[in-house]
Amino acid sequence: MLTIALPKGRIANESLNIFTTIFGNGFEFEDRKLILKTPQFNFLLVRNQDVPAYVKHQAADLGIVGLDVLEEQELDLVQLLDLGIGKCKVCVGMKNGEFLDYDKPEIRVATKMERIAKNYFSKKAMAANIIKLYGSIELAPLVGLCDAIVDIVESGATMRQNGLHVVETIMESSAYLIANQNSFIEKKSEILDLYYRIAPLVKKD
């Protein structure tokens, strides 16, 4: 039996569609339930950012989570497969007409992704004062809380509709199948069996 942590929302639905394609029907969470038990798997429905914790502590053997979240949390997890779903970019955004000024002694950056932002600006030898926020990041530069944001861009609509634009792309992200290191040893054949069933369904582009 494998336990798999899925991130609430579209990625969970798309992931369960993959299981339906492989194993047939029955991969649907009931109303508000957070556990789905099937004969072969237990699925857990968790917050996106919490998936690595469930897998790290082996509450789940496997998880599906964005590369951006893995990059931000830097945990020792086995990255098995890029599922090619949940594609997005992590970008630096500023108000329309503004660009990064590398001569500025310090830049104020609002973000949910502190580590990614910190690493990015330190590689650019730019002093960044990171302001941690939990959502609605695009608002911050509009009211003078920061000079720039580091945030997820998917369709680009949120930035566009708030008068922001992408000034630099830090990384491309998509959802990965990840495994706990011990589970990968203890349940290797089960995990690899699943891997070889999912891998051919992954769209390459």
Q: Which residues bind ligand PRP (CB under 6 A)?
A: 135-138, 151-158
Q: DSSP alpha helices (H): ranges in 34-156?
A: 51-56, 67-73, 114-123
* DSSP annotation string for 4-28: EEEETTHHHHHHHHHHHHHH-S---
Q: According to the 3-state scheme, what is the secondary structure of 161-192?
A: HCCEEEEEEEEEECEEEEECHHHHHHCHHHHH
Q: How far is the CB of 160 from ligand PRP (least distance, A)?
A: 8
By beta-carbon proximity to ligand PRP, the closer residue of 154 and 193 is 154
By beta-carbon proximity to ligand PRP, the closer residue of 97 and 135 is 135
Q: How far is the CB of 48 from ligand PRP (least distance, A)?
A: 8
Q: How far is the CB of 159 from ligand PRP (least distance, A)?
A: 6
By beta-carbon proximity to ligand PRP, the closer residue of 141 and 179 is 141
Please state whether beta strands 35-37 and 2-7 pair in parallel, antiparallel, or not at all (unpaired): unpaired
By beta-carbon proximity to ligand PRP, the closer residue of 147 and 151 is 151
Q: Work out the end-to-end distance of the chain between its first and last CA atoms, rounded to an integer number of angstroms.
A: 32
How many CB atoms are located within 10 Å of the residue 100 CB? 16
Q: How far is the CB of 158 from ligand PRP (least distance, A)?
A: 3
